Structure 1
Amino acid sequence: MTYEQLLVLHAIVSEGTFRGAAERLHKSQSAVSHMLKKLEDDIGFLLLSREAYRPKLTAKGEVFYRQATRALEQMQQLRTTARNLNAKHEASVSLAVTATYPLTPVLNVISQVKKQYPTTDINLSRETMAGPLERLLEQQADIIIATMDGVPADQVEAIPFASITITPVAHPDHEAAQHPRLKTIQEMQSHTQIIVADSSSGNTRQSRDLLPGGLRWTVSDFAAKKEILLANQGWGGIPTHMIEEELSSGKLVPLNVEGYPPRHSQLFQIRRRDADTGIVAQAIWQQLAELQTEH
């Protein structure tokens, strides 16, 4: 039994087909099949049933696979530890943070790490919707802070990081804010909803809290969205921590919209399992994990 054989098994189960596993591992399909067969011969029982189009774990295979996954995680951690003990810090580290989360806690972590590793460049991007996930999957970010929406859980390590609340609001003079009663979706369709564009290129595009059939105004960021709301040009959801002062002063007021209560969103710090983690990225990861901040 070898580490590479376990990787093959993991890839087949994750991708659902031998062909998908071969593409993921950059091997031929015959090589993948041979390595799985060799693993099964070594352990003395079938791991996967080949009767259907998609291979399925046998009863014994399921038990073996759970233990194999743990072994792969431990091996990856061991490889990272060995590399960091023998290597200098990396030239750059890239982070992608959802625009719904305040930057200050992240900047504090980066500031502390930069004191230890001043020559490492930090690339920090603010992303919306599926933007952080796309950066991670395309290996343009070492660490992201985002929701788990659309994230392939078997391919990443994720730690609960923070929670935020998205509240639908409008200017107090907005027609929808004149009465506290519940506004129906049909009523709100005549009012322009301000939404923030997805920063991904489209392969992992996401959409949330869109009013069906309504008028929309798309902007690039939450700062622009907030200005438009304050100018009484529409309504929309915005992270509560961005508008605490406006809510307190009455410059913006919460709306009671059918199907759109304040949404509590759990954020995670996420990194790829198969990526090599450098010493600086590991330091940032560990300090982020210690924040455990809620917003």
Structure 2
Amino acid sequence: MKHDQLLAFEAIVLTGTFRQAAERLHKSQSAVSHAIRLLEEELELTLFSRDEYRPRLTAEGEVFYREATRVLGQMRALQATAARLRAREEAELCLAVTATLPLDILLPVLERTGQAYPATHIRLSTEMMGGPIARLMEGAADLAIATLDGVPLEEVETRKIAEVVIRPVAARGLARQLGPGPHPLQEMQALPQIVVAGTGGPDSSQSRDLLPGGRKWTVSDFAAKRQVILAGLGWGGMPEHLIRRDLEAGTLVPLQVEGFPPRRSELFALRRRDQAPGPVAASLWALLTEAGQ
């Protein structure tokens, strides 16, 4: 039994097909099929049923998969340990965070990291919607902070670090025109809902908290969204910490929209399981974990 055979076995289970497993492992499909055939011959077990279009784990395969994932997890931990032992400080550390993150949670962590590793250039990018996880999975970020929406949990470690409240609001004048809530969907559909474009690619547009059948205007970031809403041109959900002063001043007013209550959004630190962190990334991860406790 070899490590690459277990990796091929895991990849087939996670992706659902031999072809996609081969793409994931950057190998030919015939190499993956050969590895599984040798593994089954050695074990004298049939791990996959090939009766359907997609390979399906047999009863024996289910049990073997549970144990294989434990072994692979230990192997990855050993590889990460070895990498840390031979690693030097990273020249650059890239952190991709969702724009809904209150930065006052992150800044003390970055300060401590900068003091401990002054030679490392810390690159912080603020992303929208699926942007943080996209940067992490494409290798453009060492760590990310985002919600778990669309996150491949089998490929990513997570640590909860914060919660934010997303609250529907409108400018004072528009709220006065609407009158007291709750406001039915039919009433709100006639007004532009201001949403933020995602930075994760064509499939990362906002889908959560989107009014069905309503008008929609799209902006690039929360600063622009706030300005458009303050101008009375529409309404939308905003992270509460970004508009606290507006709410206190009364220039923005919370709305009661049918089916759209204020939402509590959980944010997590994320890192890939298949990549060994360097000493700076490992330290930053530990500090983020500590900050979330």
TM range (shorter): over 0.9
Matches within 5 A, 1:10-21: 10-21=10-21
Where 1:153 maps in the other structure, the secondary structure is coil
Q: Where does residue 238 of structure 1 map in the other structure?
A: 238
Q: What TM-score does the superposition give when structure 1 sets the normalisation length?
A: 0.93
Query: Structure 1 242/142 Cα, relative in aligned 2: closer, same or farther at 3 Å?
Result: same
Aligned 8 A contact 1:150 1:204 in 2: no
Q: Displacement of 1:179 after TM fit?
A: 2.7
Where 2:183 maps in the other structure, the secondary structure is coil
Q: Where does residue 267 of structure 1 map in the other structure?
A: 267
- Percent identity of paired positions between Structure 1 and Structure 2: 53
Give the whole-Å Cα distance in 2 for the aligned partners of 1:261 and 1:229. 18
Q: Displacement of 1:172 after TM fit?
A: 2.3
Q: Where does residue 40 of structure 1 map in the other structure?
A: 40
Q: Displacement of 1:261 after TM fit?
A: 0.8
Give the whole-Å Cα distance in 1 for the aligned partners of 2:37 and 2:56. 14
Q: Displacement of 1:250 after TM fit?
A: 2.1
Cα deviation code 1:209-253 (max 9, x no counterpart): 222332333221112222222232321100111122222332222
Q: Where does residue 135 of structure 1 map in the other structure?
A: 135
Where 1:154 maps in the other structure, the secondary structure is coil
Give the whole-Å Cα distance in 1 for the aligned partners of 2:222 and 2:47. 49
Q: Where does residue 31 of structure 1 map in the other structure?
A: 31
Q: Where does residue 93 of structure 2 map in the other structure?
A: 93
Cα deviation code 1:242-282 (max 9, x no counterpart): 12222233222211111111112121111111123111111
Q: Where does residue 224 of structure 2 map in the other structure?
A: 224
Query: Structure 1 177/254 Cα, relative in aligned 2: closer, same or farther at 3 Å?
Result: farther
| One-letter code aligned to 1:114 | G
Q: Where does residue 181 of structure 2 map in the other structure?
A: 181
Q: Does 1:63 align with 2:63?
A: yes
> Which deviates further from its counterpart, 24-33 or 94-103?
24-33
> Which deviates further from its counterpart, 46-55 or 241-250?
241-250
| One-letter code aligned to 2:105 | P
> Which deviates further from its counterpart, 223-232 or 133-142?
223-232
> Which deviates further from its counterpart, 216-225 or 117-126?
216-225
Aligned 8 A contact 1:169 1:236 in 2: yes
Q: Displacement of 1:114 after TM fit?
A: 1.5
Aligned 8 A contact 2:161 2:268 in 1: yes
| One-letter code aligned to 1:2 | K
Query: Structure 1 198/260 Cα, relative in aligned 2: closer, same or farther at 3 Å?
Result: same
| One-letter code aligned to 1:20 | Q
Q: What TM-score does the superposition give when structure 2 sets the normalisation length?
A: 0.94
| One-letter code aligned to 1:168 | P
Aligned 8 A contact 1:129 1:207 in 2: no
Q: Where does residue 201 of structure 1 map in the other structure?
A: 201
| One-letter code aligned to 1:43 | L
Q: Displacement of 1:204 after TM fit?
A: 4.4
Q: Displacement of 1:203 after TM fit?
A: 4.5
Give the whole-Å Cα distance in 1 for the aligned partners of 2:225 and 2:184. 23
Aligned 8 A contact 2:192 2:233 in 1: yes
Q: Does 1:279 align with 2:288?
A: no
CA RMSD of aligned residues (A): 1.7
Q: Displacement of 1:154 after TM fit?
A: 1.5
Query: Structure 1 177/47 Cα, relative in aligned 2: closer, same or farther at 3 Å?
Result: farther
Give the whole-Å Cα distance in 1 for the aligned partners of 2:205 and 2:250. 34
Give the whole-Å Cα distance in 1 for the aligned partners of 2:199 and 2:275. 23
Q: Displacement of 1:44 after TM fit?
A: 2.7
Give the whole-Å Cα distance in 2 for the aligned partners of 1:161 and 1:2. 37
Aligned 8 A contact 2:40 2:47 in 1: yes
Give the whole-Å Cα distance in 1 for the aligned partners of 2:281 and 2:40. 37
Q: Where does residue 257 of structure 1 map in the other structure?
A: 257
Aligned 8 A contact 1:172 1:178 in 2: no
| One-letter code aligned to 2:153 | A
Where 2:247 maps in the other structure, the secondary structure is helix
> Which deviates further from its counterpart, 121-130 or 211-220?
211-220
Aligned 8 A contact 1:145 1:267 in 2: yes
Aligned 8 A contact 2:175 2:255 in 1: no
Query: Structure 1 177/282 Cα, relative in aligned 2: closer, same or farther at 3 Å?
Result: farther
Gaps of at least 5 residues in structure 1 are: none
Aligned 8 A contact 2:159 2:292 in 1: no
